[in-house]
Amino acid sequence: MSGLPQPLAEIVDDFAGVGEQDRLELLLEFSRELPALPEHLTAAAMEPVPECQSPLFLDVDASDREAVRLYFSAPPEAPTTRGFASILAQGLDGQSAAAIAAVPDDFHHALGLDSVVSPLRLRGMSAMLARIKRRLAA
């Protein structure tokens, strides 16, 4: 899929390289790798993403438009939501605002999770990316 920053393209390739059931396990692996919030940031100060099935909060620090910082908070008992957040964090954190804005809105389909994750949950990932882009455009 074109238009993806290198780290995100590598994640998409990782998902494409495994079978359907292994994709779900890979998503769970990502959920365990969601970076912790820095000390200066709390979930209460972050933007909620109500489209997600589980509580998800995000923060976009675009003070340096060439190296945007993304932060996510999701409870450990929400592995799908945490996995999606971790994919976006690992794939987009530190990228330029222009590179993030160029990510196709439907890139999540390239992960091949459509048959193992409900459309409602996939909509949550799409909503996270949309909110990030909206914050960058503001």
pLDDT (tens digit per residue) in 47-100: 999 998 899 999 999 999 999 999 999 999 999 999 999 999 999 999 999 999
111 inside domain: yes
Tell me how many domains the chain contains. 1
52 inside domain: yes
pLDDT at 1: 61
**Longest CA pairwise span in the chain (Å):** 40
114 inside domain: yes
pLDDT at 81: 93
54 inside domain: yes
1 inside domain: no
- For residue range 85-137, list pLDDT tens digits in order: 999 999 999 999 999 999 999 999 999 999 888 888 888 899 999 999 999 99
pLDDT at 96: 97
| Structural domain boundaries enclosing 87 | 6-137
- The CATH number covering residue 106 comes to 3.90.1010.10
**pTM of this structure:** 0.94
